[in-house]
Amino acid sequence: MTATKDAFFNPVKLSARDKASATDHTARAIIAAEAAAREKKTMKLKALRLEQPPAEEPVRPRKGGKRTTPGGGA
């Protein structure tokens, strides 16, 4: 097959509506793929977090001191 201009370029111009439709379809496909990847990552991280034993929070001693009342305490 010989390489001709008609083999590589479409001689018929696409309408603006067709171009917009193709762009919209492509953009929606990309967004859907990213959302699916994000959801998969979230579920994986959630499963890993649930596998870990619960962390005990350190008990912090209360600081002793005089309590003041708002407004001067009169």
Q: What is the pLDDT of residues 6-41, one digit of tens each?
A: 677 766 788 999 999 999 999 999 999 999 999 999
How many independent structural domains does the chain possess?
Answer: 1
Q: How many CB atoms lie within 10 A of CB 27?
A: 10
Q: Does residue 21 fall inside a structural domain? A: yes
pTM (whole model) above 0.85: no
Q: Does residue 72 fall inside a structural domain? A: no
Pair 36, 28: CB distance under 8 Å: no
- Residue 39's domain comprises 13-50
pLDDT of residue 12: 77
Lowest mean pLDDT among 16-20, 39-43, 61-65, 68-72: 68-72
Q: Does residue 2 fall inside a structural domain? A: no
The length of the chain in residues reads 74
